């Protein structure tokens, strides 16, 4: 009997202590927040622009990352953006980006085809693209597989008006020292790109 009563009493006291502690915590937090809310709001509104300014700095840092373009060229309503150029371990150079159709109809990339007999069957594609290392005085053509298909994007169905499409093209990698290159596509101005060391 005494053990049961003692256990019940302990449970009741523990519950009262926990409840009291929680109530005091809530009241303490509520009171502190109520009194401090106005000041922190003013302070936070003052610090928010500072954070915003910091974020703007981050946005500036992120903008090049998000909208980073190594090069962009335009011709006949078409905008070609080069977003990356990386050396692969296998001795290849992969260049990629986006093409935007600013014309009034579907663009099928027929003018970007290669003149080479082996690559002509690729149709509207980046088969006619090349990379020029002016310092090394070498021109690198798009790689192709054993059946003559280019290792590049084929714009099957074309690109609709005001739409964009991602693209890529692979080339033999220039020597490590060659960092300043020109990416050339038929009917477009050369796009000067710079490779970072180690890419």
Domains in the chain: boundaries: 1-68, 71-194
Closest CA to 100 of 151, 189, 167: 167
DSSP letter (8 states) at residue 111: G
Better-scored residue on pLDDT, 71 or 90: 71
* Cα–Cα distance list, 192 to 70, 119, 174, 195, 197 (Å): 8, 25, 15, 10, 16
pLDDT tens per residue, range 75-120: 999 999 999 999 988 899 999 999 999 999 999 998 998 888 788 7
Total residue length of the chain: 199
pLDDT, average across residues 152-173: 94
Q: Is the pTM for the entire model greater than 0.75? A: no
Whether the pLDDT of residue 162 is over 70: the answer is yes
Cα separation of the two ends of the chain: 81
**Interatomic CA distance for residues 52 and 40, integer angstroms:** 16
Furthest-apart CA atoms within the chain: distance in Å: 103
Other Cβ atoms closer than 10 A to 151? 16
- For domain 71-194, which CATH number applies: 2.60.120.10, 2.60.40.1240, 3.40.50.300, 3.30.70.141? 2.60.40.1240
Strands 130-133 and 78-87: unpaired
Average pLDDT, the chain: 76
pLDDT tens per residue, range 29-69: 454 444 444 444 444 434 334 433 444 444 443 334 455 78
Here the tokens at position 132 are: 């020029």
């Amino acid at each position: 009997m005494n053990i049961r009563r003692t256990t019940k009493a302990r449970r009741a006291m523990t519950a009262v202590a926990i409840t009291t502690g929680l109530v005091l915590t809530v009241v303490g937090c509520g009171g502190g927040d109520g009194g401090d809310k106005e000041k922190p709001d003013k302070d936070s509104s003052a610090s928010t622009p500072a954070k915003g300014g910091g974020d703007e700095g981050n946005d500036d840092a992120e903008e090049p990352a998000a909208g980073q373009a190594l090069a962009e060229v335009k011709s006949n309503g078409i905008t070609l953006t080069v977003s990356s150029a990386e050396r692969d371990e296998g001795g290849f150079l992969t260049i990629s980006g986006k093409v935007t159709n600013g014309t009034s109809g579907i663009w099928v990339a027929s003018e970007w085809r290669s003149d080479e007999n082996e690559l002509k069957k690729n149709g509207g594609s980046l088969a006619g693209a090349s990379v020029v290392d002016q310092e090394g005085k070498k021109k690198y053509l798009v790689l192709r597989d054993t059946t003559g298909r280019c290792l590049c994007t084929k714009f099957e169905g074309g690109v609709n008006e005001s739409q964009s499409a991602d693209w890529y093209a692979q080339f033999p990698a220039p020597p490590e020292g060659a960092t300043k290159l020109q990416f050339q596509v038929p009917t477009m101005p050369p796009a000067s790109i710079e490779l970072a060391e180690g890419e």
